[in-house]
Amino acid sequence: MTWYIDEGPDSDVIISSRVRLARNLEGTPFPHRLDQQRSKKIALEITNAFFADDAARRSQFLTLDLNELSQEDQMSLVEKRLISEDLVHKDNWHRAIISRDESISIMINEEDHIRIQSMRAGQNLENAYEAAAETASVFEERLPIAYSDEFGFLTACPTNTGTGMRSSVMAHLPGLTIAGAMRPVAESLSKMGFVVRGMYGEHSKSQGDLYQISNQLTLGISETDLISDLKRMLQQLIEQERNNRVTLYDQQPDMIENKVMRAYGILRFARLMTTEEALSLLSDVRFGQSIGLLKTVSRRDLNQIQSAIGPASIQKAHGRLMTPEERDRERAKIIRDLLK
Amino acid sequence: MTWYIDEGPDSDVIISSRVRLARNLEGTPFPHRLDQQRSKKIALEITNAFFADDAARRSQFLTLDLNELSQEDQMSLVEKRLISEDLVHKDNWHRAIISRDESISIMINEEDHIRIQSMRAGQNLENAYEAAAETASVFEERLPIAYSDEFGFLTACPTNTGTGMRSSVMAHLPGLTIAGAMRPVAESLSKMGFVVRGMYGEHSKSQGDLYQISNQLTLGISETDLISDLKRMLQQLIEQERNNRVTLYDQQPDMIENKVMRAYGILRFARLMTTEEALSLLSDVRFGQSIGLLKTVSRRDLNQIQSAIGPASIQKAHGRLMTPEERDRERAKIIRDLLK
């Protein structure tokens, strides 16, 4: 079972939590300054250190050399946010190590030598951080990690230096979005040191009322403080979103029911559907489900649908590249079958 | 059971057939030149002639004095096309006599003294004409009807003189409409002496791909020839429409299925719906039903829905005037209940 089908704490608003840690090898140039041969040597060194004498870990993780994967498999990893799009396009020797439940992924020779990412369902930043830190400690015990007493962990990009950590959540904010409150909320979060982005990171537009929220800082503050800050802010945001949902429904029950039930009707019967429309309709249904309008649909159903309808997931399931229209047809079918 | 729930011949394309006959009393000015007192005297004379010594007819027909009806009842009669909107707004003494199955309606003191209208489901112009003629013969036997050997029946407007007849059908033409062929078809019908209009007569726009088609002429040609001409043209139009539907589905099965099933999904789940949207979605569903895509929906179901969702029908069912939003909510509910 992959982690993202699960529900987690506060999962009516927070879909998932993610913590990323960057680590680099001491005395070795950062990946962008490594040639093919040297990057390969380092990648193997990191991989070997991770698996050394550990049969359990070997069976728990998959090592993927991206240039050996089909295009649809590469794209599927990006779509699931297990690897970055940057990693796919790197020229030097790079790979990913991914846990079978897809909750932990390690990118080797992306921007940093080692990038560990840990994901959890719902608002579960602490667990996500623990798992990431535990994975990082394997490397820290077995490899010379670049660390400065003054700055902390050293990274290729100075904005990551310090903890080398970035923690973020994927929040579903239809209440704030429908009420037209997202812009002021994003601005005020930004002043508080948080960043609000669309679903696929920087510069991406929000789809399906989904927003990635992370802290800006990495330097001069401890990991636990960073996570506490983010959690504290999220508690407020979650309350605000819940209040908005209830208020919207109280004030315009017909409008909201109409929006939710139409979305459900279209998802249940359409024969062609783009990713963008699907995300938007799923957002309406998820909203409706959270305020009790759709008793026959569970949050797990919605998570399952959401994880299956990206262009790459669909192509991976078919084992081949497909035209957009073929994907739209297949997407509509997947949704119909899962909503039955 | 009202006639319009039934299916009739060729009812995949022709929803209903209508024949109207105009008759006037000899030696009496046309209605627009009658004062209140005189128009009342004539209306009573016509009514008495119709019902004289005929208990069966008395129980089969209702006599409605429009100024005694509530606004929602008046509007409902107009919406069902049992009376014209003009009749509601006449100043002189006017009334309607309507058969209980709503297949025959007689307007007294509309443009002419007597206007008989007969409606049938499907392409059934001959039956509709027979029923209208039979009703007209009652008046012709018992009242002095204005008739000239040279011109035929005399009418208030010269365009009706001769047979005093107008025959028309309501055609559902989604195949021609989606294929973008309606404009050339309407133009060529016009050259052949037929008129193509929207659902509610002259100057009205087509809603739900529904078109009223009638002949232009009334003078210098017999009733049976007029009906034969219209029927002959309709046979071609019906074939053309059916071919267009099949071709569209053959060429773009996904697009058509998607259109039809989405419409069905929205109709089944929406909580608010305007008449215009409902007619448009019902058109898609009717189209889908006719090519075998929706086996659970019958043409009778669709007729029943279509007859129940006009603003006036909804208000009449509730016995009061309602706001547009109240009607939109009730319309969506009626459709959901009937599609269950």
pLDDT tens column, A227-274: 999 999 999 999 999 999 999 999 999 999 999 999 999 999 999 999
Element (H, E) at B51: helix B36-51
Same domain? For B179 and B294 the reply is: no
Helices A275-290 & A299-308, crossing angle to 10 degrees? 170
Q: Which of A217, A242, A267 is a domain's end point?
A: A242
Look at residue A139 in the predicted model and tell me its pLDDT.
Answer: 97
Same domain? For A273 and A333 the reply is: yes
Percent pLDDT > 90 in chain B is 79
A337 three-state secondary structure: helix
Cβ contacts from A onto B, under 8 A = 50
Q: What is the mean pLDDT of residues B8-37?
A: 94
Please name the member of A265, A267, A332 whose beta carbon is closest to the beta carbon of B270.
A265
Question: How far apart, in whole angstroms, are the C-alpha atoms of residue A1 and residue A99?
Answer: 12
Same domain? For B184 and B315 the reply is: no
pLDDT digits (tens, 9 = 90+) for B51-83: 998 899 999 999 999 888 988 899 999 999 999
Token reading at A318: 């078919």
Look at residue A4 in the predicted model and tell me its pLDDT.
Answer: 76
Range of the domain at A184: 3-242
pLDDT digits (tens, 9 = 90+) for B252-284: 999 999 999 999 999 999 999 999 999 999 999
Same domain? For A189 and A297 the reply is: no
Whether A164 shows a pLDDT value over 60: the answer reads: yes
In sign, the C-alpha dihedral spanning A319, A263, A171, A297 is: negative
Look at residue B221 in the predicted model and tell me its pLDDT.
Answer: 85
In terms of Cα–Cα distance, which of A106, A108, A112 is closest to A157?
A: A112
- Residue A162 has φ and ψ, to the nearest 5°, of 120, -105
- Is A254–B271 a contact, with Cβ atoms under 8 angstroms apart? yes
Q: Report yes or no on B46 lying in a domain.
A: yes
Same domain? For A184 and A299 the reply is: no
Q: Report yes or no on A247 lying in a domain.
A: no
Question: How far apart, in whole angstroms, are the C-alpha atoms of residue B304 and residue B317?
Answer: 14
Strands B61-64 and B152-153: unpaired
Please name the member of B255, B265, B272 whose beta carbon is closest to the beta carbon of A258.
B272
Same domain? For A303 and A227 the reply is: no
Look at residue A200 in the predicted model and tell me its pLDDT.
Answer: 55
Q: How confident is the model at residue A8 (pLDDT cuts 50, 70, 90)?
A: confident
Same domain? For B104 and B238 the reply is: yes
**Overall domain count for chain B:** 2
Same domain? For A317 and A229 the reply is: no
Q: Report yes or no on B167 lying in a domain.
A: yes
Whether A315 shows a pLDDT value over 70: the answer reads: yes
Same domain? For A193 and A275 the reply is: no
Same domain? For B217 and B175 the reply is: yes
A124 three-state secondary structure: coil
Element (H, E) at B17: strand B14-23
- Is A272–B261 a contact, with Cβ atoms under 8 angstroms apart? no
The DSSP result for B266-297, as a single string, is HHHH-S---HHHHHHHHHHHHHHHHTTS-TT-
Which residues of chain B are within 8 Å of residue A252 when distances are taken between CB atoms?
none
Q: How confident is the model at residue A204 (pLDDT cuts 50, 70, 90)?
A: low
Amino acid at B189: L
Residue pair A316/A21 in contact (Cβ under 8 Å)? The answer is no
Same domain? For A151 and A236 the reply is: yes
Look at residue B205 in the predicted model and tell me its pLDDT.
Answer: 65
Residue in A closest to B261 by C-alpha: A269
Alpha carbon distances (Å) from A264 to A4, A286, B332: 22, 10, 15
Question: How far apart, in whole angstroms, are the C-alpha atoms of residue A331 and residue A80?
Answer: 16
A307 versus A205: the higher-pLDDT residue is: A307
Look at residue B279 in the predicted model and tell me its pLDDT.
Answer: 95
Look at residue B117 in the predicted model and tell me its pLDDT.
Answer: 97
Q: How far is A325 from chain B (nearest CA, A)?
A: 9
Q: How confident is the model at residue A67 (pLDDT cuts 50, 70, 90)?
A: confident
Same domain? For A78 and A139 the reply is: yes
Look at residue A224 in the predicted model and tell me its pLDDT.
Answer: 92
Look at residue A142 in the predicted model and tell me its pLDDT.
Answer: 95
Q: Which of B242, B274, B293 is a domain's end point?
A: B242
Look at residue B153 in the predicted model and tell me its pLDDT.
Answer: 94
CATH number at residue A208: 3.30.590.10
Whether A205 shows a pLDDT value over 80: the answer reads: no
Task: Please state the pTM of the whole predicted model.
Answer: 0.89
Predicted ipTM of the assembly: 0.87
Q: Which of B207, B242, B277 is a domain's end point?
A: B242
Number of helices (H) and strands (E) in chain B: give both, helices first. Answer: 13, 10
The secondary structure of chain A in percent helix, strand, coil, rounded to multiples of 5, reads: 50, 15, 30
DSSP secondary-structure letter at B9?
T
Which residues of chain A are within 8 Å of residue B332 when distances are taken between CB atoms?
258
Which residues of chain B are within 8 Å of residue A332 when distances are taken between CB atoms?
258
Look at residue A211 in the predicted model and tell me its pLDDT.
Answer: 94
- Residue A183 has φ and ψ, to the nearest 5°, of -65, -55
Look at residue A251 in the predicted model and tell me its pLDDT.
Answer: 96
Whether A59 shows a pLDDT value over 80: the answer reads: yes
Q: Report yes or no on A121 lying in a domain.
A: yes
Which residues of chain A are within 8 Å of residue B266 when distances are taken between CB atoms?
262, 265-266
* Beta sheet of A104-108, edge-to-edge order: A61-64, A95-99, A104-108, A114-121, A14-23, A165-172, A210-215, A194-197
Q: Report yes or no on B228 lying in a domain.
A: yes
Q: Report yes or no on A248 lying in a domain.
A: no
Cβ atoms within 10 A of the Cβ of A19, count? Answer: 28
- Is B262–A266 a contact, with Cβ atoms under 8 angstroms apart? yes
